[in-house]
Chains A and B, each alone.
Chain A
Amino acid sequence: MNNIYKPQEAIVEDIIVESPTIKTLVLKPREEFEFRTGQFIELTLPGIGEAPFTPSSDPNVKDKIDVTIMNVGRVTSLLHAGSKNISLGIRGPYGKGYPLDDFEGKDILIVGGGVGLAPLRSLLFSLFAEIDKYNKVVLRYGARTPDDIIYKESLPRWAKKKKVDVVTTVDVGSSRWKGNVGLVTTILKDLPVDLKKAISIVCGPPIMMKFVTLKLLDLGFKPSQIFLSMEKNMSCGLGKCGHCRIGSYYICKDGPVFTYEQLKDIHGIWD
């Protein structure tokens, strides 16, 4: 009997410390696990609980999945305390993910905030794998402090790729930080994108998504050109448990990626 609530086992193969509050777990599932970039999974700490995460790894890799986790709650703090070789559970993938076909031939602006870069890394891997299909990739990333930046070694590597443009900022600098200081909205000017053939993708905490969306609208992006990765407490992942409803959508089933066009008339989307 197929059981939609039952996780399959995945072993933690490696743990990468990304920042003082963020770690990436490299998981090896028992069976190959396929997902499309932007879809999410439910990660189980056996006997303790479950929480939703969007994989941060390359979807073309089927035998391993990276999950980048910020230590914010009950399950995540225990996941942070875990060690290599422990057994976890995964279910999924759920939701619709990013519509890569719609991005072909476009200038793709990606705006990330904090741990919100995690799902975007998976998207970047997908775009890099077929970079000829896209016009250019423009990444704008903001973190709270220099220490809070994740994928510290990857960011400069990505910046050197052809057709890729990366700018990073921090809300609060430090004596050693030579880069931009200011909220991510401050690095959204003079963007090297042609609005006529651009789309934007935003992922980060709700307050950041709200102000970035307003900024993008201000810059002339249409609501249909803005893709948002929404989050609520997705639990079942299948539009049954009810928790992640906004308006007439379930984030787990109809999202988690929505265009702002789909959401703009719904009350409370940034709450």
Chain B
Amino acid sequence: MPDIYYINSGQLNTFFHNLKKKYKVFSPTAKEPNFTKETDYSYKDLPGGEPFVFNPYRPVEPLKAFFTYTQDKAAEYFDQDTIEDLPPTIIFGVKSCDIAGHKVQDFVFLEGAEVDTSTSLSINGERSRTIDSLYRLRRDNTILVSSDCTDFKEVCHCLAWEILPHPTEGFDLNLSPLNEGYLVEVNSPKGKDLIQQYKEYFVIAKDTQVAARKVKRDNLIERLKKHLLPQHLVSKDIVQRLMQEGYNLDTWQQFMLTCVECGGCNFICDTCHCFLLTDKKEGSINKRLKLWDACLYANYARVAGGANPLKRRAERLRFRFTKKFDFFVDNLGMPACCGCGRCIEVCPGKIDIREVLKDLAKKLQH
């Protein structure tokens, strides 16, 4: 039986405010309403007193932005050491797609190692030749409070990748709205510890409440299925074959015509992880910086002497897709797309990942 509690909305607000005394708390806030499009939600580190906002679908920012920054200091050398003071952090509003996508980030930066979910938010002094220790520190230092989706955006297509619109793993606590409050599921020692600290706000959930949660979840899945059915999306099990057999199709060229090489699709993606190491001098200190990089950029693959194996934009679009749908299927056992649809929304050239895959499938008659 999972560890599930109930908290009413008023108590949740108090809990939320009290957390801010001890933790840095990020939570979603609604952006200015714009009647021409869906309301977007953005993570904010709100001052105390602001009420908790429930986001019905994923926020604008990818979850990775809490663990690798657009610009990080990777090292100082030779004698200085990189030390970062990290406040313990809690992130509310994370969705199932983000958690699925974040598996890729963990795989890359933690080399497939298990994330430490022990009770305390301790700094892990692990010595390893392959783990990114700053990422590890931030990961160990953060509690993920996810929540069920209660609605979806036009671009949402998690189900196409067999990801459900409510988290089933990878979270510390998960909120499911129910009547005048929330069910809170505990999924890790970190989450359990947090509930223990504030146990006065929580009561054990009743079986009827858990059953009601299932009804709400199933209803949303049905609605999302209805939304996706007419789109005829490509299924998870054929996507690797599309990459292998579709390598020389004109799809890449065709969809690339409107690409302006902004790198937006890479930066906003939950699973894209590429970075550039660059060095600079500041007085007597040499600094190495780690910047997000984008495979859609012209110089991404350029080598010393000027040779560039990904000279053409079409080659770079294909590189992005084969990384997600071939490399990661081989190396992690899952495609590196969580169906969040952020890349579709961000693209000024209206390049739609769903349409690219469908075009390949159509041409290959899958």
Contact = CB atoms under 8 A, between A and B. Distances in A.
B279 A44 contact: yes
Given A233-B303, A247-B327, A248-B331, A238 B130 contact: yes
A47 B284 CA distance: 9
A49 B278 contact: yes
A220 interface: no
A107 B85 CA distance: 57
Contact of A4 (B77, B132, B305, B307): B132
Interface stretch (B57-65, B218-226, B288-296, B344-352): B288-296
A267 B254 CA distance: 20
Contacts of A267: 247
A154 to B, nearest CB: 25
Nearest to B284: A47
Nearest to A42: B277
Interface stretch (B30-38, B42-50, B194-202, B268-276): B268-276
A243 B323 CA distance: 11
B162 to A, nearest CB: 21
A47 B132 contact: no
Interface residues of A, number: 43
Interface residues on B, range: 35 or more
A46 B77 contact: yes
Interface of B: 74-78, 81-83, 108-109, 125-134, 137, 247, 273-281, 286-288, 290, 293, 295, 300-307, 309-310, 315, 319, 322-323, 326-327, 330-331
30 contacts: A1-B83, A2-B126, A2-B129, A4-B129, A4-B130, A4-B131, A4-B133, A5-B75, A5-B290, A44-B77, A46-B279, A47-B287, A50-B277, A50-B279, A72-B305, A73-B303, A74-B304, A89-B78, A233-B302, A236-B275, A239-B108, A240-B275, A241-B275, A242-B273, A243-B274, A243-B301, A247-B326, A248-B326, A267-B247, A268-B315
Interface of A: 1-9, 30, 44-51, 72-76, 87, 89, 206, 231-233, 235-236, 238-243, 245, 247-248, 267-268, 271
